[in-house]
Amino acid sequence: MPLDRPLSLVTGASAGIGAAFARALAARGHDLVLVARRADRLHALAIQLRAAHGTAVHVRPLDLADPSAPQRLCAALAAEGLAVDWLVNNAGYGVPGTFEASAWEVHAAFLQVLLTAPTELAWRLLPGMRARGYGRIVNVASLAGHVPGSAGHTLYAASKAYLIKFSQSLALENRAHGVHVCALCPGFTWSEFHDVTGTRALVGKLPRFLWQRAETVVDEGVAAVERGQIVHVTGRANRAIKALAKLIPDRLGLWLSARQSRRYRQLD
């Protein structure tokens, strides 16, 4: 059964969708563990949430590109007697340019943050959820995981497709134990994501109807995981794009992707 004050762990909580998840869950009566690299932003958000909602907020500045970070985080929480009921695997970013344009160390760090860390956190926290008969895991994937790959940002769509399939299998394995798992798949979302990747000017040319606010994405995500939906694509426009991508032949889909990539992907 749902707890009076669930404890939610949110990665990538310093901005964008992660910060929006923290605010939404605090407003719903959750206590929080906030994880990101930027300690100053986490502490500022924690002060806001404590004042607004009386939320207990545990700030954990960590770089999930460090392979030891998930184990160290979970060990520290266990030592403090903190049992995580909601896990929001949100931390992520993009590597602009083509595959060979970046050093392998850059790609290895990306794969650690986008693939290994969320998978390991789920593996470490899932047994406690099952034992208590209650848990929620939200893996923030992307519409990119449902459509043909694009030139540029080579590993991004691949990593999101993994999170979708991982969430599906995990959900089927655990739905009888009170644990809901959802792959949340937003499209273009207003945040600093594209500022960090240096593609703001490119994506700024896309139609405004393709964009959503982070708060809207989060509201849809919380509702989806609560009702047991395993994969949720946010927004009508994005759901239409996903449906179309399933209907058209792969060859046509890749041709369209090749034409559109230069509009929103940095290729050099």
Catalytic residue set: 156
Joined tokens for residue 28? 């719903």
In angstroms, the CA 158 to CA 146 distance is 10
Label residue 219 left, alpha or beta by phi (over 0 means left) and psi (-120 to 50 means alpha).
alpha
CA angle 148, 144, 164 (to 5 degrees): 105
Host H or E run for residue 243: helix 236-247
Work out the widest C-alpha separation in the chain, in whole angstroms: 54
Q: What is the DSSP letter of 136?
A: E
Instruction: Look at the chain and count its residues.
Output: 268
Cα torsion 185, 201, 206, 212 to 10°: value is 40
Tell which residue, 161, 132, 151, 135, has the closest CA to residue 231.
Answer: 161
- Backbone φ and ψ for 142, nearest 5 degrees, come out as -170, 155
SS3 call for 157: helix
Tell which residue, 203, 115, 189, has the closest CA to residue 152.
Answer: 203
DSSP 40-52: HHHHHHHHHHHHH
Tell which residue, 118, 112, 172, 114, has the closest CA to residue 9.
Answer: 118
Joined tokens for residue 59? 């700030």
